[in-house]
Amino acid sequence: MALLDVLSTSGFGSQLPTILTCVAVLFLVRAVFQAQTGPLASLPGPEISKWTDLHVRLMLILGKRAQYVHSLHQKYGPVVRVGPNDVDVSDHAAAREIHRAKGGFLKSSFYATGGRIQSMFSTRDRGFHSSRRRLLGPCFTETSLENLQPVVVELTRTAMRKMRDEAKAGNGTVDLLKWWTLLAMDVIGQLSFGESFGMVESGKKSQFAEDVSNAGAILPLRTAFPTLIWIGAYLPLPFFQNIAQSRQRIVAYNQERVARYMQLVQKDAQKSRATIFTSLIKGNAIELTELELTVEVQSYITAGTDTTAVTLTYLIWAVCRDQKIRDELVRELKSVDVADEEQLTYKHVRDLPYLNCVVEEALRRYGAAPGALPRDVPDEGAFLGGHFVPGGGTVVSTQGYSLHRDPELFPDPERFNPSRWENPTKEMRDAFMAFGTGPRGCIGVHLARMELRLATALFFRSFPSARVSTKDGMSDTDMDELITFLLVPRGHRCLVELE
Ligand code: HEM
């Protein structure tokens, strides 16, 4: 018997509207109760945040979430409710508390996007993370990277040569975002597999790089509407199918490269190319399985390419826009006296004071990960920024965007002003979160700083009068800051004239 017949003979059908109305009323009462008297009800924030976070999700897709949340902090203070279960904190001491070791705030479900195999980046498991970080941390120290710096210098030098060639062959401009992306990805390839992806040399993104961009482009949508993406994976729509194919190709490519590297190690560990994993070689094997290594390398490519490339793009753009800053930087760089440009090493530039101020200010103002870093509040709750934030399902975030714009610590915070780092206070240092902080802070921080310093130094030594172009319609609008998890310039390009 059809279901409707059963319902009508049982009299249930005639009562259905009443039942549905009761259910709707119950939901409404529950929502009102939660909004007005729930454990987060006393936290400051706009009325809408008590009912929904849909507006915040839409802001995320539009690349304006960080700016919106910052405007809430300006209005409501350092602790603000941004959704029924979401809080954002811009108090420096509270941010440190959230991110400190053993603070009890674990990465939220936002990070659980990477399938069944966990990486150091994606894991939410404290035990897994500690053991992986203990193993890999030593690979990323300044001392370990020391041995690898010549290959980074060489790749950067090649990038300069290729940029000059491209500018000469074309209309005098180059797209910084393109070149820094090729460079950053080649650096990770070189340091992970002992061979680069060859993109700086070819001047073009490989299929692999295109796939990485494709897979990354879906991140905002996945973050804002994870269920939609989950359903999409089962639908025969080209958009979702293309992304699935990109992901499959990325995995296959990484597997192949890692397998090749491991064969080299097995054949002759001594002669295998130096990589960040060299110190993990014991006898003729590496202390990670092929699969573990593949997943780790993938996370370095995702976490270490666009972050470095975008920060560097904004850095060079900001310096080119201000002749005084550019001239001061060029003056300092010219003071490095080497007989031949080819002899310039990382050591020559690492400790240059003004260069370091420029890098620090670029990371403060344009660090490429300024968005929310969400953490689960421990069950017992916590006092943060003068408020009690309850646990049991609350997610608390900190965002570099707000922490770096505290006008008390960084007067005129929107201004790109490297000199503010000449004598930084402890409070400024404490508020600096471009690389996160605590045990989940960026493991690539020394590598990133090395790349930023080297590329900036070699760029302005090669092109001391570089300036932002207006050719091909390039304008400041291209550099409007869109922030999902990462920062990206609206125009997805940054054209500069080299000479
Ligand atoms: C300017 C460049 C970079 C910026 C601004 C940046 C920023 C960040 C931030 C803010 C975090 C913390 C994320 C969180 O708490 O949710 C992080 C973590 C991480 N970053 Fe970076 N990063 C950069 C470069 C790199 C590079 C070059 C690598 C390459 C190895 C890398 C690998 C990682 C990894 C693996 C983590 C996770 C660490 C963990 O959970 O133990 N990053 N990064």
pLDDT tens digits, 354-378: 999 999 999 999 999 999 999 999 9
Among 54, 124, 116, CA closest to 82: 54
pLDDT band at 241 (very low <50, low <70, confident <90, very high): confident
Name the token pair of 196.
Answer: 């680069």
Residue 31: predicted pLDDT: 66
Give the distance (Å) from ligand 1 centre to CA of residue 303.
6
Is the model's pLDDT at 247 over the cut of 60? yes
Residue 377 Cβ contacting ligand 1 at under 6 Å: no
Tell me which residue has its CA closest to atom 9 in ligand 1.
435
- Please report the atom of ligand 1 found closest to the CA of residue 312: 1
Name the more confident of 270 and 485. Answer: 485
Stretch 141-145: mean pLDDT: 93
Q: Where are the beta strands (DSSP E) in 28-110?
A: 79-83, 86-89, 106-107
Give distance in angstroms: CA of 34 to centre of ligand 1.
Answer: 36
CA of 118 from ligand 1 middle (Å) equals: 16
Amino acid identity at 112: A
Q: How far, in Å, are 39, 85, 97, 122 from residue 375 at the CA level?
A: 18, 12, 12, 13
Please tell me what DSSP assigns to residue 107: E
> Residue 9: its pLDDT value, please?
59
Band of residue 1 on the pLDDT scale cut at 50, 70, 90: very low
Residue 353 has pLDDT above 80, yes or no: yes
What SS3 class is residue 496?
strand
List the residue whose alpha carbon is closest to atom 19 of ligand 1.
442
What lies within 8 Å, CB to CB, of 264 at 6+ separation is: 194, 271, 272, 273
Does residue 443 have its Cβ closer than 6 Å to ligand 1? Answer: yes
With a 6 Å cutoff on the Cβ, whether 373 touches ligand 1 is yes
pLDDT for res 113: 64
Question: Residue 35's pLDDT is what?
Answer: 64
% of the chain surpassing 90 pLDDT:
73
Tally of CA atoms within 13 A in the half-sphere of 499 that contains its CB: 12
Beta carbon of 434 within 6 Å of any ligand 1 atom: yes
- Tell me: pLDDT of 2 over 60: no
* Atom number in ligand 1 closest to CA 368: 5
d(CA 352, CA 367): 20
Rounded to an integer, the average pLDDT of 445-472 is: 98
- Say whether 436 sits in a helix, a strand or coil: strand
Residue-wise pLDDT for 251-289, tens only, equals 999 999 999 888 888 887 777 778 899 888 887 778 888
The closest-lying atom of ligand 1 relative to the alpha carbon of residue 439 is: 41
pLDDT surpassing 60 at residue 163: yes
309 lines ligand 1 (CB under 6 A): no
In a mutational test of the pocket of ligand 1, which residue from 126, 301, 442, 452 has the highest number of ligand atoms less than 8 Å from its CB?
A: 442
* Distance between Cα 360 and ligand 1 center (Å): 16
Task: Give the residue whose CA is nearest to atom 2 of ligand 1.
Answer: 308
- Asked whether the beta carbons of 68 and 59 are under 8 A apart, the reply is yes
Beta bridge partners of 373: 398
Cβ neighbour number for residue 110 with a 10 Å cutoff: 18
22 annotated as ligand-binding: no
Q: Which of 223 and 335 is assigned the larger pLDDT?
A: 335
Confidence at residue 34, expressed as pLDDT on a 0 to 100 scale? 66
Q: Does the pLDDT of residue 23 top 90, yes or no?
A: no
397 forms beta bridges with 88, 374
Mean of per-residue pLDDT scores for the chain? 91
The angle, 0 to 180 degrees and rounded to 10, between the axes of the packed helices 306-321 and 176-193 is 140
189 ligand 1 Cβ < 6 A: no
Q: Kindly state if the Cβ of 440 falls inside 6 Å of ligand 1.
A: yes
> Which pLDDT score is estimated for 26?
75
Structure tokens at 211: 């796939």
CB of 367 closer than 6 angstroms to any ligand 1 atom:
yes
Would the pLDDT of 297 be above 60?
yes
CATH level 2 (architecture), domain 45-110+122-497 = Orthogonal Bundle (1.10)
The yes-or-no verdict on residue 311 having pLDDT over 80 is yes
Closest residue by Cα to residue 254 from 285, 289, 290, 218: 290
d(CA 363, CA 310) in angstroms, rounded, equals: 10
Q: What is the pLDDT of residue 339?
A: 86
With bands split at pLDDT 50, 70 and 90, how would you rate the model's confidence at 13? low
The reported pLDDT for the residue numbered 32 is 66
- CA 346 – ligand 1 centroid, Å: 21
Residues 6+ apart with CB under 8 A from 77: 44, 385
Question: From ligand 1's centre to the CA of 456, what distance in Å?
Answer: 20
Neighbours of 204 (CB within 10 A): 12
Q: Write out the H or E segment, with its range, that includes residue 357.
A: helix 353-366
> Has residue 6 got a pLDDT over 70?
no
CA–CA dist 174, 179 (Å, integer): 8
| Rg of the chain on CA atoms, in Å | 25
With a cut of 0.95, is the ipTM above it? yes
> What single-letter amino acid sits at 62?
L
Cβ of 120 below 6 Å from ligand 1:
yes
Average pLDDT over residues 446-452: 98
- The pLDDT-based confidence of 33 (bands split at 50, 70, 90) is low
Alpha helices by DSSP H, listed for 225-322, are: 226-232, 238-267, 290-304, 306-321
